[in-house]
């Protein structure tokens, strides 16, 4: 059964709002889930699919839909006005479920995503293997045979490909959220209310903004990060991401946001 058919089979029980946020790794999803969960009338899990499949080190689209069904069917005995998850679904699920669920894609500057992966990958490789279908897609799209790359470069190219494919979210999910924009209290209000249907008190938003999660005080600039890539990684980054980054409003060599082209 394809995603559209599976989404059509989902039945919502109860009258509360449901929301789902897709994202790549290292986007600040823990912080966003914490913000959303700070309201007493909202229950928001983070990467719940991972805990559901533990101790496995990978999960499938079927695992994701089992979680989606659980969120759809759980009434929480009427205790909450909104329920959802950040980080468990793939973008395809977000697109297919739009209408039944409020859906969003969480983004971060691609250089920072890649930098985080390069730092973490040597010691943490859970949920990091590239699926065989994606390997074929990369070969057909970019003429890159990832089987000939080192494990780290293979993951680097895989993340590039995931970022590029996310342009399909434009116009097909309810919200595209750049984590950098959530430094603004106004944008935090807009996103939290948009996802949950509930207006968050300013005190909740400001408290969340003053309590970052996994943020380093001496973070490198985007330019410094790109200079640390190997020459091959830098060439892939500049050549393969140019169009997609611009569509999301990112300059590849700068922290400054640019006008989104779509």
pLDDT digits (tens, 9 = 90+) for 189-223: 999 999 999 999 999 999 999 988 766 556 799 99
Pairwise CA distance, residues 68 & 89, whole Å = 8
Which pLDDT does position 55 carry in this prediction?
Answer: 84
Mean pLDDT of 81-92: 96
Residues 6+ apart with CB under 8 A from 11: 72, 73
CA pair distance 110, 245, nearest whole angstrom: 8
Mean pLDDT of 112-140: 83
- Return d(Cα 191, Cα 186) in angstroms, integer: 9
Q: What domain count does the chain have?
A: 1
What are the pLDDT digits (tens) for 88-108?
Answer: 999 999 999 999 999 999 999
Residue 43 and residue 80 in contact, taking contact as beta carbons nearer than 8 Å: yes
Quick one: average pLDDT of 83-89?
Answer: 97
Could you give the count of Cα atoms lying within 13 Å of 118 in the half-sphere of its Cβ? 17
Query: Is residue 261 predicted with pLDDT exceeding 90?
Result: no
Closest CA to 25 of 155, 212, 139: 155
Per-residue pLDDT at 114 exceeds 60: yes
pLDDT of the residue at 186: 97
Which tops the pLDDT comparison, 213 or 249?
Answer: 249
- The answer as to whether 81 is a domain residue is yes
pTM: 0.92
Q: If you average pLDDT over every residue of the chain, what do you get?
A: 91
The residues pairing with 21 across neighbouring beta strands, listed in sequence order, are 86, 104
Q: How far apart are CA 16 and CA 41, in angstroms?
A: 10
Task: Give the C-alpha separation, 112 to 91, whole Å.
Answer: 20
Q: Which residues span the domain enclosing 127?
A: 3-247
Decide if 34 is inside a domain. Answer: yes
Residue 260, domain member (yes or no)? no
With contact defined as beta carbons under 8 Å apart, do 160 and 237 qualify? yes
Task: Give the integer Cα–Cα distance in Å for 37 and 152.
Answer: 35
Tell whether 59 is covered by a domain. yes
Is residue 60 included in any domain, yes or no? Answer: yes
- Residues listed for the chain: 262
pLDDT of residue 213: 79
In a domain, 141, yes or no: yes
Quote the percentage of the chain above a pLDDT of 90. Answer: 76
Q: Where are the beta strands (DSSP E) in 1-57?
A: 17-23, 42-46
Q: Is residue 262 part of a domain?
A: no
Domain assignment present for residue 70? The answer is yes
CA–CA dist 18, 62 (Å, integer): 19
**What confidence score (pLDDT) does residue 218 get?**
60
CATH code (residue 87): 3.40.50
> Which secondary structure element, helix H or strand E, spans residue 83, and what is its range?
strand 82-86
């Amino acid at each position: 059964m394809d995603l559209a058919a599976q989404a059509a089979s989902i039945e919502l029980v109860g009258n509360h709002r449901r929301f789902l946020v897709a994202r790549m790794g290292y986007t600040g999803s823990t912080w966003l889930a914490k913000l959303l969960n700070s309201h007493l009338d909202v229950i928001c899990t983070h990467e719940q699919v991972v805990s559901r499949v533990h101790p496995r080190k990978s999960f499938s689209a079927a695992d994701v839909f089992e979680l989606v069904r659980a969120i759809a069917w759980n009434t929480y005995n009427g205790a909450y006005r909104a329920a959802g998850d950040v980080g468990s679904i793939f973008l395809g699920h977000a697109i297919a479920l739009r209408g039944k669920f409020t859906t969003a894609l969480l983004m971060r500057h691609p250089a920072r995503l890649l930098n985080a992966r390069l730092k973490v990958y040597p010691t943490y490789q859970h949920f990091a293997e590239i699926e065989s279908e994606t390997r074929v897609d990369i070969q057909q799209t970019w003429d890159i045979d990832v089987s000939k790359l080192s494990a780290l470069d293979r993951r680097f190219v895989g993340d590039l490909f995931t970022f590029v494919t996310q342009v399909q979210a434009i116009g097909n999910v309810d919200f595209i959220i750049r984590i950098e924009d959530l430094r603004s209290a106004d944008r935090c209000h807009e996103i939290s209310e948009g996802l949950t249907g509930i207006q968050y008190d300013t005190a909740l938003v400001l408290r969340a903004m003053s309590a970052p999660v996994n943020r380093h005080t001496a973070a490198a600039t985007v330019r410094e990060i790109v200079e640390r890539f190997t020459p091959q990684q830098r060439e892939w980054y500049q050549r393969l991401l140019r169009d997609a980054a611009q569509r999301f409003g990112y300059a590849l060599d700068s922290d400054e946001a640019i006008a989104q082209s779509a």
